[in-house]
Amino acid sequence: MTLLEGKNLTMIFGGLAALDSVDITIEEGEILSLIGPNGAGKTTLFNLITGVYSPTRGSICFKQKEIINMKPYDITKMGIARTFQNIRLFGEMSVLDNVIIGQHCRTRTGVVGAILRTSAVKKEEKKVHDRAMEILNFVGLDNEAAEKAKNLPYGKQRRLELARALATEPDLMLLDEPAAGMNPQETNELIELIGKLNDMGKTVLLIEHDMKLVMGISQRIMVLDYGKKIADGPPEKIRNDEKVIKAYLGDRTRKEVQAC
Ligand SMILES: Nc1ncnc2c1ncn2[C@@H]1O[C@H](COP(=O)(O)OP(=O)(O)OP(=O)(O)O)[C@@H](O)[C@H]1O
Ligand SMILES: [Mg+2]
């Protein structure tokens, strides 16, 4: 079943088309990767899907509902979560609190309840705490729960971003270069984690430059170049697509990609 369908998406910034008439479909349960050179429009597409920007033209339906012009918070509530290309954590807060914040859109405590600390509030706090610990355990950060986020090594900060996104209980997760800056071991752990997320039923849209990761994990790959979609298909098709090799990969990396 189609979970998200974007049609004719165009985003113009001061005369430059960051995206030009792009169609995208995401099927429930798949891992779809979005690749393309720097400036191709990948993050812009994430920003349209998550409501950061409204497109100049086009439509996006998620679970059969038009989400253009909806606020980011309401889109998160509908079941779309993201991580950012540049890590955006609350560095001074604990690892645990960073995940608890992610759950905010699913909790019900009102201001009055929070001040009076009613038993319902205390019960909800415990539930939120336990769920956050469960998520930290899932991403392998439960031992660091009390650490300040800024004190975590880089690879773990990236995993914490993922945990925070997961805390919103999404159906669709958008991951913007989650392996950027990771060493090979951290990248392998991340691949395993994304696979586990997918096994849990999460649909994943992944932006990634690491070709080994992309070719290994994706059921389908979509390629953007200068804001236009130039290819869409399974990894074996993309790997041999002349247009993709020429526009994006270049002859230098042809062998590297075909070896993946
Ligand atoms: N808010 C903005 N205002 C003006 N131009 C923008 C804005 N956001 C993106 N752009 C431009 O749109 C184009 C696409 O940018 P985008 O960040 O989507 O690329 P990308 O594919 O994610 O690249 P990278 O691989 O470097 O992250 C670029 O030319 C960029 O400079
Ligand atoms: Mg980007």
Read off the pLDDT of residues 188-202 as tens digits, 9 standing for 90 and up: 999 999 999 999 999
pLDDT at 129: 93
pLDDT at 250: 60
Amino acid occupying residue 91:
G
Residue of the nearest CA to atom 9 in ligand 1? Answer: 44
Domain ranges of the chain: 1-79+170-260, 89-168
The number of beta carbons lying within 10 Å of the beta carbon of residue 122 is 12
Q: Which ligand 1 atom minimizes the distance to the CA of 41? A: 18
Give the model's confidence band at 110: pLDDT under 50 very low, under 70 low, under 90 confident, else very high: low
What is the rounded average pLDDT of the residues 46-63?
98
First vs last C-alpha separation in the chain = 29
Kindly report the backbone phi and psi dihedral angles of residue 32, in degrees, each rounded to the nearest multiple of 5, phi listed first. -110, 130
Share of the chain above pLDDT 70, in %: 92
Residue in 66, 230, 17, 155 with CA at minimum distance from that of residue 163: 155
Q: Is 85 in the pocket of ligand 1 (CB under 6 A)?
A: yes
pLDDT at 26: 98
Query: Mean pLDDT in the chain?
Result: 91
Give the whole-angstrom CA distance, residue 187 versus residue 105. 30
Q: What separation in Å is there between the alpha carbon of 176 and the centre of ligand 2?
A: 7
Give the model's confidence band at 111: pLDDT under 50 very low, under 70 low, under 90 confident, else very high: low
Q: Is 157 in the pocket of ligand 1 (CB under 6 A)?
A: no
pLDDT tens per residue, range 236-249: 999 999 888 887 66
Helices (H), 177-226: 184-199, 211-217
**Domain over 1-79+170-260 is classified CATH 3.30.1600.10:** no
Q: What separation in Å is there between the alpha carbon of 96 and the centre of ligand 2?
A: 28
